[in-house]
Amino acid sequence: MVFSSLFFVFFFLVASYGIYFSARKMKTRNIILLVSSLIFYAWGGPVLVLLFCLMTFICYIGALLISQNRVRSIRRALCATTVAICITILFIFKYAGFSMSVAYSIFNIDSAIPNIALPIGISFYTFQLMSYVVDVYRGEVEAQRKYWLLLLYASLFHQCIAGPIVRYADVNDEIENRQITLADMSRGISRFSVGLAKKAILANGCGVITDTIFNQNGAMMGADGIADLSSAAVILASLCYMLQLYLDFSAYSDMAIGMGLMVGFHYKENFNYPYIAHSATDFWRRWHMSLSTFFRDYVYIPLGGNRVSVPRHIFNMLVVWALTGMWHGANWNYILWGLYWFVFLVIEKYIIKPQREPKLLPRALGIVATFIIAFFSAMLFKFNDLSALGQAVANIFVSNGNGFSDSATDLIFKNNVFFIIAALIACTPIIPAIRNLCEKNGTTQKIYVAIGTVMPVILIVISAFALAGDSYNPFLYFQF
């Protein structure tokens, strides 16, 4: 079950929240929310819920033991053991097959690799649980005494399969003592409707263009198929995939934040228009911010951060970006994707040394350069087949003799030019800027309020038509 399905929007969400608001006591509401979350998660594989509950129980016991012990060495050992168990479980389900394929290739072993089912969202809830255990060890939060409440925190269906990565410290007070206001309800419904439209209309539309060009007979083209494409075809498909990545993932974050607001949870923002970033560093202050801050606080800073020698700092960055790449998937292209960003960040830090707040022209040039860097990083993300990736990059520079464009690509572009412009605008803060202007202008405020009242309904209806009329509705972040 995904947020952008008609069943979820018009049945699961309505039913679960209807039952939720029929209860008066917070404890009853939390039980309803927990049951709803477990049902939601079990939809993709009932047996895997047991793994989820087991990992939560391990972290629950580990945190309790840490909180009850005052001997530093024992506390450190308990924390390390609990985190190691979580990492081992994550490795078995997400990386064992990839590691075995690499080992078999190195040692020339001819044997079948077991097909291990990947639990949906395992990276998200594993990181959340590990951050909880570490924060208890650091004394930043109190250990949760009730297992079912820790399970509620980890399983909240708003964000358990697609983020943002919500830390226990951010919501522990709201688990048992949250207030639901009319303002939060209104903001939550608006935010959810925007996210749904962003996913159902814009992200899916971009995905259709990408797949129309890159997919052949329902499967991703290999290097030979890519070689037949023109430069314009590869650029257009890759651009649309780049837009799809942001629109899809930020849409899930929008919907998660919106659903949280509806029931009194305030999740932190996860995206801040990364495609207008003026540097690689600025990009990662804007893209998947909950993941960036996780690696900063639990890997980068404990390694020493930037308060070390230059070689050690570069090593710390290498570790963080190798792990960031691996987090996204068990394949070489994701590892290379992480190392790709590592290289640009090192160049930026030690060679270019950009200003934190550059002037207008350098900023504009920085935005263009960062957009191009992000464009090629999206290509790394798209192609699991490295030979096909190499061919696609080569095609961009017209190395295949096919010419820059072709009639089929020209037709696709002409038929979708206004849609692509709309998708590009949605990746910028232009619309929020107009909204803020309307809020400050008294003459247009009433019109703005009227539009803001009906707009969520309009967006949900349009999204419903888009979802009902099209079977294309991928969940890009299943592997996370």
The average confidence (pLDDT) of the chain is: 88
What is the rounded distance in angstroms from the CA atom of residue 15 to the CA atom of residue 20?
8
pLDDT on residue 363:
82
Q: Which two tokens stand for residue 192?
A: 């959810």
pLDDT on residue 473:
66
Q: Is the pLDDT of residue 35 over 90?
A: yes
> What average pLDDT does this structure show over 73-89?
95
Residues labelled catalytic: 328
> What average pLDDT does this structure show over 384-390?
89
| Cβ–Cβ under 8 Å, residues 415 and 425 | no
Q: Is the pLDDT of residue 448 over 60?
A: no
pLDDT band at 215 (very low <50, low <70, confident <90, very high): confident
Q: Is the pLDDT of residue 219 over 70?
A: no
**Pairwise pLDDT comparison (432 vs 54), residue with the higher score:** 54
Q: Which residue blocks in 69-177 are alpha helix, DSSP H? A: 72-90, 96-106, 122-138, 147-155, 168-176
pLDDT on residue 480:
57
- How large a percentage of the chain has pLDDT more than 70? 92
pLDDT band at 455 (very low <50, low <70, confident <90, very high): confident
pLDDT band at 223 (very low <50, low <70, confident <90, very high): confident
pLDDT on residue 475:
64
Q: Is the pLDDT of residue 399 over 70?
A: no
pLDDT on residue 451:
66
pLDDT on residue 356:
65
For 318-384, give the secondary structure using H, E and C. HHHHHHHHHHHCCCHHHHHHHHHHHHHHHHHHHHHCCCCCCCHHHHHHHHHHHHHHHHHHHHHHHCC
**Pairwise pLDDT comparison (413 vs 160), residue with the higher score:** 413
pLDDT on residue 105:
83
**Pairwise pLDDT comparison (283 vs 228), residue with the higher score:** 283
Say whether 303 sits in a helix, a strand or coil.
coil
pLDDT on residue 403:
77
pLDDT in tens, 259-285: 999 999 999 999 999 999 999 999 999
> What average pLDDT does this structure show over 179-193?
90
pLDDT on residue 354:
65
pLDDT on residue 357:
66
Between helices 332-347 and 310-328, what is the axis angle to 10°? Answer: 150
- How large a percentage of the chain has pLDDT more than 90? 59
pLDDT on residue 238:
95
| Cβ–Cβ under 8 Å, residues 378 and 370 | no
> What average pLDDT does this structure show over 448-458?
73
> What average pLDDT does this structure show over 303-312?
92
pLDDT in tens, 117-156: 788 888 889 999 999 999 999 999 999 999 999 999 999 9
pLDDT on residue 446:
59
For the stretch 241-257, what's the b/e string if a residue is b when 16 or more beta carbons lie within 10 angstroms of its beta carbon? Answer: bbbbbbbbbbbbbbbbb
Question: Which region holds residue 139: left if phi is over 0, alpha if psi is between -120 and 50, else beta?
Answer: left
Q: Is the pLDDT of residue 243 over 80?
A: yes
pLDDT on residue 146:
95
Say whether 215 sits in a helix, a strand or coil.
strand
> What average pLDDT does this structure show over 417-424?
95
Give the start-to-end residue ranges of the domains of the chain.
6-178, 184-279+354-468
pLDDT band at 329 (very low <50, low <70, confident <90, very high): confident
User: Which has the minimum average pLDDT: 301-315, 359-373, 418-432?
Assistant: 359-373
